[in-house]
Amino acid sequence: MNPIIKLENISKLYRLGSVGTNTFKEDIHNFYSKLIHKTNPVNINKNSGLIMDSIKSNHIWSLKDINFELNQGDVLGIIGKNGAGKSTLLKILSRVTAPTTGKIKVKGRIASLLEVGTGFHPELTGKENIYLNGAILGMKKNEITRKLDEIISFSGVEKFINTPVKRYSSGMYVRLAFAVAAHLESEILIVDEILSVGDLDFQNKCIGKMGDISKTDGRTILYVSHNIASVNLLCNKGLFLNKGELIIEGKTKIVIDAYLSSVNNSRKSYNSEENKINQINTASVLNIQNILTNVFYFNEEIHLNINFSLEEIYVNTSCIGIRVVDQKERVVFSSNSLVSNFIYNNTKNNYSVKCIIPNDVLVPNNYRITIALHIPNKEIIDLVEDAVNFTIEETGSLFHMYNGNDYGCVFVGCKWLNS
């Protein structure tokens, strides 16, 4: 299958500081270089692989040697921290800016949603801007008219469709802009983080629409978002950028896991530096596949493995317990078990136990676990504060229901009935 988008060694160099401060001589030299198709002086020296000395101090690479390709119908989620180069990549694909080096091959028309204010003429009404955008895509007036009612209905700005868009709020602007981009006949749709401007219901509506047009119309979508759950739900491919470099590209789940692992500095395991009796020796968090990790999805169990040593005189009276605390210092829950329950695992006063934290309970958030060996209401034998940390990530089916930063610590699946 021939790719609909192909990027080969795409790099983008930006100059720090003021814009347009070249001397007249430098501007003439740059213009002449482009005219005769010479490499621009700010490009990489391909022979040495070094940036020219004159630009080392005041230039920065926003993208460096990016290579990937997409087929028709692919939905690519682009993730990474702020400043990773995500928006620059979309601007290059949208032809807003040109790459410093590399080649781009695109088959088909592109509709882009990059930032509030782009693509619309502020003095024109919403309806006039719909026709303007359609004309830019090469559509005939009667083709646009056929889709007009559908676009207006989806946007939810019917009352203001004959008002100049300069009077629209940012939310109204985004609603109409997405409706136009999604419904007009382009082969490729590019969506930056602009959807975060809209309300939650409309964001979900947009994500559903993007899923529909990729499956039914075979449109290719490039989607940048910090909402990992929406990327997981919508995209069949992922791309992780960091400081302008492509870290990993591939199946969405693999790319998301790589991204989360890179941004999460949580402690996956604890090992005591001492070796003595009556202490917690090791602790680790693993998934159901028994893989050491500190990133879990909402619907995954968390397996906490603990190894400790204890004298026999304590076995019948002591407990092993955990306390789970979230990033807002709220104690989510505690759990304890008598050590005598694990007597069959005893090997010379050494015990190995597993505590399973069930799935579908902890909402998306960052958590840490304190572990204690103690005689209830009497004595703490050993205590390890923040022995391990982990993160719960959202799953696509639930991301629209809550945000772990704003709501409580646990999710309770209550039954809701007519009263």
Domains, the chain, ordered by start: 70-262 (3.40.50.300), 272-393 (2.70.50.60)
Query: Which pLDDT belongs to residue 225?
Result: 81
Query: Which pLDDT belongs to residue 46?
Result: 40
Query: Which pLDDT belongs to residue 226?
Result: 73
- Distance CA(286)–CA(222), nearest Å, equals 33
pLDDT in tens, the chain (419 residues): 678 999 999 999 887 665 554 555 556 666 666 565 554 544 444 433 444 443 455 778 899 999 999 999 999 999 887 778 998 999 899 888 889 999 999 998 888 877 655 668 889 999 998 998 888 777 888 888 998 999 999 888 899 999 998 888 878 888 888 888 888 878 898 888 766 655 667 777 888 888 888 888 889 999 988 777 778 888 999 999 988 999 999 999 889 888 876 755 567 889 988 888 899 999 999 999 999 988 888 888 999 999 999 998 998 999 999 999 887 668 899 999 999 888 765 677 889 999 999 988 888 888 889 999 999 888 899 999 889 989 887 665 444 444 444 456 777 666 666 55
- Distance CA(139)–CA(147), nearest Å, equals 11
Query: Which pLDDT belongs to residue 114?
Result: 75
Q: Is residue 150 a contact partner of residue 183, using CB atoms and an 8 Å limit? A: yes
CA atoms within 13 A on the CB side of 305: 14
Query: Which pLDDT belongs to residue 408?
Result: 66
Report the chain's C-alpha Rg in angstroms.
28
Residues 6+ apart with CB under 8 A from 350: 281, 307, 308, 309
Cβ of 284: how many Cβ atoms within 10 Å?
Answer: 19
pTM: 0.59
CA neighbor of 380 nearest in space, from 369, 370, 367, 368: 370
Helices (H) and strands (E) in the chain, counts: 9, 18
Query: Which pLDDT belongs to residue 335?
Result: 92
Report the C-alpha dihedral over residues 264, 260, 91, 249, rounded to 10 degrees. 140
- Distance CA(390)–CA(40), nearest Å, equals 48
Query: Which pLDDT belongs to residue 31?
Result: 60
Query: Which pLDDT belongs to residue 413?
Result: 67
Q: How far is CA 371 from the centre of its chain?
A: 32
Q: What is the 8-class DSSP label of residue 405?
A: T
- Distance CA(364)–CA(174), nearest Å, equals 27
